Structure 1
Amino acid sequence: MINFAKKNNMFSQGQLVFAGLFAVSFIALMVYSYAKDKKTHDTFYKKTYIVLLCFILFIAILFAIKTFLKH
């Protein structure tokens, strides 16, 4: 029988604290950097959603080809 109550910690408490602090500070720095460069982004990166839509469409086409040619 498998004992599901057994607790296996992969990381120590110090490692988890470090990972949490790192994630929070990294996200805060990214938000600050984006806010600082927002004017530049608005000027040079207009209509970038088109690239994202094309990428998603490309992946969907590859998936459809894989599905139809599977048989």
Structure 2
Amino acid sequence: MACKKAGVENFTFHDLRHPCIDNWRLQGNNFFRIMAASGHRTMEVFKRYNTITQEELKKLVAETMDTYMDT
């Protein structure tokens, strides 16, 4: 009903899987916990829903460089 009022069509509960999985990962949960909670049995299926952003990759590289440059 809320989707209809907002003019959103063809929305299902399943559409929330991508953002939910991304949010769990961004909160620091590991892949195995997320897979268990989301019901994914294989990494192949899980990878379809797990999207890593360019910002996350840049942050990872920067943090890694900082770690090695400080030693």
**TM-score > 0.5, shorter chain as reference:** no
Greater relative contact order (Cα 8 A, min sep 6): structure 1 or 2?
Answer: 2
Which TM-score applies when normalising by structure 1?
0.31
Which TM-score applies when normalising by structure 2?
0.31
